[in-house]
Structure 1
Amino acid sequence: MSTLTVPPNLSSPRQDAIDLYKAFKGFGCDSSTVVKILAHRDATQRNLIQHEYRAMYHEELTTRLSKELGGDLKKAMMLWILDPANRDATIVRQALTGDVIDLRAATEVLCSRTPSMIQTIKQAYLARFGAYLEHDIQNLATGDHQKLLLSYTGVIRFEGPQFDPSMVATDAKALYKAGEKKLGTDEKVFIHIFSERSSAHLAAIASTYHDAYGSSLEKAVKSETSGLFEFGLLTILRCAENPAKYFAKLLRKSMKGLGTNDTMLIRVVVSRTEIDMQYIKAEYQKKYKKALSAAIHSETSGHYRAFLLALVGPN
């Protein structure tokens, strides 16, 4: 459930474009106006604003935003202005080909998205960057981690809540034999089941596995695998069971300890606002006994703080 709030008396995309242009004029950018407008427009409205801005001022709005904004506000706004598919494609592209390669971030995004989302990400990736996502994965990832990502992004899985209990039991047994019961691990079985089963099916496997073998499937993954391969499997499993809880933990991790991981904080807030941020907020409050907005308020400042809080919404 989205936390994006859109004004009841919404101005036209043309008027928004005019107001943004005014905010850019003069000495210094009126960042508060930029945040006030763009933080309260959905993907369709943001696209229309960009179209109007281009038509009137013969310049891309993204180009002007990049020039006028700075720091973490700029990072967050440059992702927010995009539609969800292009945003995820951009995050993954930057993680795979940027100055600092971040395979963990790319894995987090790809292994937490639904099959239909992944298909639109792949299309956006090719259209936006002229490259195939699979090729970049092959060039950067290695071993079982590479095989998992290629399989997970290549298979079109069922997204409904239905599953076959007998097949669930068979898969749970196969994972047990491939992992805890076996000397060494049959990674192919883990890749096959984790990348080809629906989220509902995989969540049912986890429950059946615990009932049948007295230990959790998550613990089995942790003991039988390692590194980015382990991280990918755990991301898939945790998002199958409770995606809101998974992202609440990521947000906690981004703000825990000395300093804030703003890249992670931005990635989660911006990409989940229009999807399930209400549920993430509830999980965050439940687990950490603190409102997400309060945590963000204490870890950020200025217009950057105002922007993130506008996306997350009130307590």
Structure 2
Amino acid sequence: MPMTQYLGTPIPLSAVNKYSTDPPVPGYDARGDVEAIHKATKGFGTDESQLIRTLAPLNALQVATLATQYKAAKGRDLAQLIDKETGSWFGMGLRGIVLGPLGWDVELLHRAIAGVGTHEDLLNEILLSRTNDEMNMLKSAYRDHYGRDAEQDVSNDLSMKTKNLFVMAMNASRVPDNVPVNAQQVTADVNQLFNAGVGRKGTNEMVFCEIMVNRSGPHLAAISAAYHAKHKMTLTRAIKKEFSGHMKDALLYIAEGAKRDGRGVWRDAKLLERSMAGLGTKDERLVWRVVRAHWDRQRMEAIKASYQAKYKKSLAARIKGETSGDYQKLMLQLVG
């Protein structure tokens, strides 16, 4: 089956090119799920548990097939049906599943910049530390869906050096993670970062932006370790000392992702905890973080292991204590 990867999982070509037609997914017959969803939503009331049992286990290829076959068999758009039959954070989570990893990222990107102000956390997580292929797919799908240029829309919502950082990120010129790390370049980058920040009066923001945005994950992991070893200060602490506001948070998102192996697993475990820490649960953040992470099961297992190691409690137990009802059931099913 023709496919590409997005968020660590195969997606159908139709998610990238709306004019593509996808062949059936080997080993998956959507007819049973079509009828299960129809039964769960017909008449008075909705069988939310059946929706969870049907949708939560599906991968991105299966979800795309189900959505296509549901519309063909029942004459209704599956995402619109979910919106009509469910609501609140439960409905948001189901919609994220039905739209698939790329389709929902398109909506989340628009959500981050729509209206007054910018949803900075969301914008960071959708646009930073992405592969070049993912970024190009996201921009193309955004144009297909909204008829607008994503780079221009994001630029219009930001200002000054923060705008420059995100323009650089959306340019999709990041060194691929499979390129071997150059030790001499790491040393040079560490020196540049120090001299642009704590090693001088004032801060050269663009040096930080160029290095942090365009280097590969393994290269940034090497920078993080080398910076700490040479200057007895973590890179994240240096950023906190030199920056403020959205620029600080964006650079920290990248720098936190560089810790350990540079894959961002440790950072993502911390972000999930932040969704639940303090007074009240930040439900919107919890939903998008769990749904986006669940597509890549291997990565989700790594996030769970990192969460357990850091907080001495399982991620599932933490979520169970912060949520309830069908929303809780969905989150726990996705975490696994």
| TM tier relative to shorter chain | over 0.9
Does 2:322 match 1:299? yes
Give distance in 2, aligned partners of 1:240 and 1:214.
17
Structure 1 position 298, deviation (Å): 1.1
Matches within 5 A, 1:160-239: 160=178, 162-239=180-257
Give the equivalent residue in structure 2 for 1:6. none
Distance 1:170 1:265, change over 3 A: same
Pairing 1:82–2:82 present: no
Contact 1:2/1:277 (<8 A) preserved = no
What does residue 24 of structure 2 align with?
A: none
Task: Tell whether 2:280 aligns with 1:259.
Answer: yes
TM-superposition CA deviations, 1:81-133 (whole Å, max 9, x none): 12212221211111111466412321232114333322221122111121111
Contact 1:88 1:121 in 2 (8 A): yes
Structure 1 residue 214, shift from structure 2 partner: 2.1
Q: What amino acid sits opposite 2:307 in the alignment?
A: Y
Instruction: Give the CA deviation at 1:142.
Output: 1.1
Tell me the residue number matched to 1:115. Answer: 132
> 3-state DSSP class of the match of 1:29?
coil
Contact in 2 for aligned 1:209/1:216 (Cα 8 Å): yes
CA contact (8 A) 1:125 1:133 kept: yes
1:38 is matched with 55
Counterpart amino acid of 2:305?
A: A
Identity of aligned residues (%): 35
**Aligned-partner SS, 2:99:** coil
Matched, 1:106 2:123: yes
Amino acid aligned to 1:229: M
User: Would the aligned equivalents of 2:196 and 2:204 in 1 still touch at CA under 8 Å?
Assistant: yes
Residue 279 of structure 1 aligns with which residue? 302
Q: Is the 8 A contact 1:269 1:308 kept in 2?
A: yes
For the residues of structure 2 that align with 1:191 and 1:240, how far apart are their CA atoms? Answer: 14
User: Which range is displaced more, 153-162 or 78-87?
Assistant: 153-162
Question: Match for residue 308 of structure 1?
Answer: 331
Rounded Cα–Cα distance in structure 1 between residues aligned with 2:256 and 2:143: 28
Aligned to 1:138: 155
Alpha-carbon distance in structure 2 between the residues aligned to 1:214 and 1:292: 32
Structure 2: 5+ residue stretches without partners: 1-6, 10-26
- Aligned pair partner of 1:24 in 37, 41, 45: 41
Query: Which residue identity is paired with 2:121?
Result: R
Aligned partner letter, 2:113: L
Residue 146 of structure 1, CA deviation: 1.1
Instruction: Give 3-state SS (helix, strand or coil) of 1:126's partner.
Output: helix
| Conservation of the 8 A alpha-carbon contact between 2:41 and 2:47 | yes
Match of 1:67 in 2: 84
One-letter amino acid matched to 2:143:
L
In structure 1, distance between residues paired with 2:301 and 2:170: 27
1:58 aligns with 2:58: no
What is the root-mean-square deviation in Å for CA atoms of aligned residues?
Answer: 1.8
Partner amino acid for 2:221?
A
Q: Give TM-score scaled by structure 2 length.
A: 0.87
| Aligned residues between the structures | 307
SS of 2:198 mapped into structure 1: coil
- AA matched with 2:122: A
Paired letter, 1:23? A
Q: Once the 2 structures are TM-superposed, how far is the Cα of residue 283 of structure 1 from its aligned partner?
A: 0.9
